[in-house]
Structure 1
Amino acid sequence: MIESVISLLSPLFASAHVRWGIGGSVLLAHHGLVEHPNDVDLLFHPDDFAVAERILKQFGKQQPSQDKGVFLTRRFEEYTIGSVELDLIVDFKIQHKAGVFSFIFDETAMTEQVSFGGQRYPFMHLEDWYVFYLLMPGRESKVRLLEDYWQSHPLDAPERLQTALAASLPDSIRQRIEHTYRYAQ
Structure 2
Amino acid sequence: MLNNSLDRALFQIASAFTEAGITWGVGGSRLLLAHKIVDSARDLDLLVSMRSAERALRLMRELGVGEVSQAKAPFCSRHFSQHRLSGVDVDLIAGYRIEHLQGVYEQVFDTDSISGTVALGDLEIPLSSLEDWYVTYQLYPQKAQRAELIESHFQKSGLARPDLLYRALQGVLPDEVRVRIERLLVQLT
Contiguous gaps of at least 5 residues in structure 1? none
Q: In 1, Cα distance between the equivalents of 2:178 and 2:113?
A: 20
Report the counterpart of residue 150 of structure 1 in structure 2.
Answer: 154
Report the counterpart of residue 176 of structure 1 in structure 2.
Answer: 180
Q: Which amino acid aligns with 1:81?
A: L
Stretch moving more, 175-184 or 82-91: 175-184
Q: Which amino acid aligns with 1:101?
A: Y
After TM superposition, give the deviation of residue 66 of structure 1 in Å: 5.3
Report the counterpart of residue 92 of structure 1 in structure 2.
Answer: 96
Within the candidate set 8, 11, 16, 1:7 is matched to 11
Stretch moving more, 39-48 or 124-133: 39-48
SS at match of 2:112: coil
Report the counterpart of residue 80 of structure 2 in structure 1.
Answer: 76
RMSD (Å) for aligned C-alpha atoms: 1.6
Stretch moving more, 44-53 or 118-127: 44-53
Task: Give the direction of change, closer, same or farther, for the CA distance of 1:178–1:134 in structure 2 (3 Å limit).
Answer: same
SS at match of 1:142: helix
Report the counterpart of residue 128 of structure 2 in structure 1.
Answer: 124
Q: In 2, Cα distance between the equivalents of 1:133 and 1:112?
A: 20
Q: Determine what percentage of the aligned residue pairs are the same residue.
A: 33
Q: In 2, Cα distance between the equivalents of 1:39 and 1:170?
A: 28
Contiguous gaps of at least 5 residues in structure 2? none
Q: Which amino acid aligns with 1:15?
A: E
Runs of 4+ in structure 1 deviating by more than 3 angstroms, as ranges, are: 63-67
Q: Output the TM-score relative to the length of structure 2.
A: 0.91
Q: In the TM superposition, what whole-angstrom CA distance separates every residue of 1:56-115 from its partner, at most 9, and x where no partner exists?
A: 222211168355212221111111112211000011111112221112222201012333
Q: Output the TM-score relative to the length of structure 1.
A: 0.93
Report the counterpart of residue 114 of structure 2 in structure 1.
Answer: 110
- Corresponding residue pairs, total: 185
Within the candidate set 160, 166, 169, 1:162 is matched to 166
Q: In 1, Cα distance between the equivalents of 2:172 and 2:188?
A: 22
